[in-house]
Structure 1
Amino acid sequence: VRTGDNVETFSTSREQQQQEDHRAKRSHHCPHCEELFPILSKLKIHLKIHTGKNLYPCSDCGKRFTTAGSLTVHRRLHTGEKPYSCSDCVKCFTTSAHLEVHQRTHTGEKPYSCSDCGTSFSLLCNLKTHEHIHTGVKPYSCSDCGKSFSLLCNLKTHKRRHTGLKPYSCSDCVKSFTTSTELKVHQRTHTGEKPYSCFDCGVRFSQRCTLKQHERIHTGEKPYSCSDCGRIFSQPGPLKRHERIHTGV
């Protein structure tokens, strides 16, 4: 028989398993899909999705809902009613849940934390998306080239490379960009903003990547190497010029 902390750990694990077994026994299983519900009334509401019986239809668009409450909330999309207002700003919302999420922008509350790295999020869906970084799951695939992405927004941005769509236009010139980030960086050419400064010498840059390249002057880092002779360079430009010696191009 083990003594000390091991006994307590074993006891706790056994208690947790018993609690999980107990919860499983109390759960109500949907015969049509894999969902479990803690109370029977929740299951009955869910079953309407499968049976199509006793649903509440919207008189404006015909969409049907499992509860009268869900229909009431939906109808606000047609009427424009937003009964929940933020006490900190002028924004209003159709549901109390949406208001609660919005208020976190004022309070800074981020109740959902990543168990792998500790990063916190204000929305559960954002945490679930973030977790793909750790699991390596890339559920979003490009239908044009097959490349996969962990984030849906990254797939949408990538697809613009195929379509040529550039929805972000500069108000100072005629240039357009595929992402808002690219537009923001470009606008610094007009404003002269240089938010990134070198810790060693104080020289400022408009792009973080340019700062990183500059810092190699101080660190001596040379991450770019010639595959033909092994000579190393701190910048990709000099490497490309050097490679012409071997290729003759």
Structure 2
Amino acid sequence: MEVCGSVLTNSKYESFRLKCIYCTIESELKDWELFIVHVKTAHYCEEEDIKNVEVTHDSPELYVAVDASEPAIAYGPDDFFEVIENINAEDQWMITDGNDQQYEEDATAWSEPTADFSEYQLDGNSSEVPTTNGTTQMDDSSQNHIPLNTDEDDGECSDFYMSEDDLAPKRRRPGRPPRRTRPGQVFKFKVSFIRSNPRVLHLIHAYREHPCLWDPSDKNYEDELARNIAYEAIMVRMDNRANVLFTLEELKKTIEQLHIQYALALETKEKGKLVGLAARYFAKCDYLSVSPIVTPKENEEDEDLTVIKLNFKEENLITSSFIETYANYPGLYNSALSDFTSVEARANAYRRMAKEFQPVVKANETDVYIAVNKLRRWLYNAMRRLKSKELIQKCTPQEVQYLRMCSFLPAKGSESQVLYCDYCEKRFHGDYNLRVHIFKAHQVGDLPYLCSLCPRRFDRQVDMDRHKLRSHFERKLRCEYCNKSFAVDNDLKVHTLIHTGERPHVCDICGKAFRLKLLLDHHVNGVHLNIRPYSCDMCNKTFRKKFELANHIKGHLNIRDKKCEYCDASFYDHSSLSRHRRVHKMGMS
């Protein structure tokens, strides 16, 4: 069976329509034959001619015609489509409440990296409902409605059309990137040869058209410009044909997944065990035989930043001790206990675990929380690999032993994964996400992520890791133009722009260019929109930037902490000190 569309309904469940998972085309249920023709012609990805389908409807002129000679999708009866297969550990899911506030949700907390309705957080005001194929169903309205017939419906269908207010452009917070919310839009999917996914076939065909990305003998294989153009063409095709929006980084990761699946299929084929759907996908990727083999990464996390280094491949004291210690705190995994839903009780449990684990590894509560998430991710992934028969790395004997030690943990889906805020009843996945919400929305408690090397706290793990690299680790990345060194790759790229003179961020209003997106946002908000959100409590002055307000307050308090190294002069802010230094430099010259 192939899933090619979603069923939409109005709020009263009186009228139903079919909606294409690739685009915004809709039709009546009775026009299902026209709908199939549309899917097979407008969104083809195979080199097979489509079969003629007889359609006897009175209004074919409203159907968006596509050349019938184009190849079409053709899948076997055992094929099944799954939209979102995987969520990377770094992904952040956004929850929107009725006041248009957004909260970031850690997709790694208490969840296996698989598509699951529990990954969607919907409140009572939301009109988006996840469907079985991973697309988003509109509850009370359907955007971009394009009917395939003109027959009037018996029921009330006004809910399918957008009002003038709905068509009006939505205002967003200045500086925030536009949200990608096309109806039915799929942002990511995991490449897999053991589950049928039409979008994987689209990717295979699009990738094959650009040998400069996979063929070392191609003349443009080392040409960065040609490769970027090829990536852009693939992104456009996946957007138009498969309704998938990629960033460049996401596309590169997805292509890497394709190479890994091909390598695993090749290994299985050499053993004479490659059959079924995996064999068909492997045959479609035969052009990758000339490409370098990409092997799966054993551990994709940056172990240098992990205090508790769990290793499940071989027996070691840290992993064994951590599993045994974790088993002594059922309030963290047993949903039947009252402490399971208590944020404070869970925080205390992490602190006690860290103290109990200190003879083995000196760690704090955040390190324990990160290790718990890593353990649970590995556990559910290992259980899936243990049951799998195709194209997934088998569990080693030591992993099986650790699986037995983790038998106290409940099976995925058998426990409640949702925690509720005691102040506003909002729900979150993972206690750290809830703690961030309580701190920001209700000004209670502290930010959860505590640096293991200093007292600073953060609301996201990625920010904490970046802080560690910048403040507590050696700066290994050196600029090729000067002697400066950096700890974060993005910092080096931004610094290099100073030497190259590039200013990639251009204002759409006045054309002024900037090195950083942040500077462009400050320019647009302060100059063109005159947004000055920071106001002084001691006078009536307002400022565009937070540090400008801080320097202004220093003036009120007569705090001069910026001192000149050549004389005794001191200043409120760095810019005044820089202007003063020029006087010394001119005198020296």
- Give me the TM-score of the superposition, normalised by structure 1: 0.51
Which of 131, 139, 149 is matched with 2:476 structurally?
139
CA distance in 1, matches of 2:549, 2:452: 32
Q: Give SS of 1:130's match.
A: helix
Letter in 1 for 2:293: R
Please name the residue that 1:215 is paired with.
Answer: 553
CA distance in 2: counterparts of 1:108 and 1:199, whole angstroms = 38
Q: Distance in 1 between matches of 2:582 and 2:501?
A: 31
Q: Secondary structure at the match of 1:218?
A: helix
Tell me what 1:11 maps to: none
Whole-angstrom CA distance in 2 between matches of 1:59 and 1:145: 46
CA drift of 1:59 comes to 2.5
Q: Distance in 1 between matches of 2:581 and 2:482?
A: 32
Matched letter for residue 200 of structure 1: M
Please state how far the C-alpha of 1:139 moved relative to its aligned partner.
2.3
Conserved? CA contact 2:562–2:577, under 8 Å: no
Match of 2:518 in 1: 181
2:527 aligned with 1:198: no
Summarize the alignment of residues 45-64 of structure 1 with structure 2, pairs less than 5 Å apart: 54=267, 58-61=285-288, 62-64=291-293
Stretches of structure 1 lacking an aligned partner (at least 5 in a row) = 1-48, 72-105
**Equivalent position amino acid for 2:490 in 1:** C
- The CA deviation at 1:161 is 0.8
Change (3 A) 1:233 1:129: closer
> What is the CA–CA distance in structure 2 between the aligned matches of 1:167 and 1:216, rounded to whole Å?
34
Q: Which residue of 1 aligns with 2:460?
A: 121
Measured at CA, do residues 200 and 108 of structure 1 come closer, stay the same or move farther in structure 2, by a change above 3 Å?
A: farther
Structure 1 contact 140–152 (Cα < 8 Å) conserved: yes
Alignment map for 1:78-117 (pairs within 5 Å): 107=428, 113=449, 114-116=451-453, 117=456
Counterpart of 1:59, as a letter, is D
Cα deviation, 1:47-95, whole Å, max 9, x if unaligned, reads: xx9xxx9488853433535476479xxxxxxxxxxxxxxxxxxxxxxxx
Task: Measure the CA separation in 2 of the matches of 1:66 and 1:217.
Answer: 59
| Count of residue pairs the alignment pairs up | 162
CA contact (8 A) 2:457 2:464 kept: no
- Tell me if the contact between 1:205 and 1:211 (Cα under 8 Å) persists in the aligned partners: yes
- Counterpart residue number, 2:493: 156
Counterpart position of 1:19: none
Deviation at 1:147, TM superposition (A): 1.4
Change (3 A) 1:63 1:242: closer
SS in 1 for 2:286: coil
Query: What is the distance in 1 between the residues matched to 2:429 and 2:471?
Result: 24
Structure 1 residues 239 and 176, CA gap change in structure 2 (3 angstroms): closer
Deviation at 1:160, TM superposition (A): 0.7
User: Which has more helix, going by share of residues?
Assistant: 1
Alignment gaps of 5+ in structure 2: 1-262, 270-281, 297-389, 394-426, 434-447
Counterpart amino acid of residue 64 in structure 1: I
- Structure 1 194/130 Cα, relative in aligned 2: closer, same or farther at 3 Å? same
CA distance in 1: counterparts of 2:523 and 2:478, whole angstroms: 29
**2-structure distance, mates of 1:242, 1:135:** 30
Cα root mean square deviation, aligned: 3.9
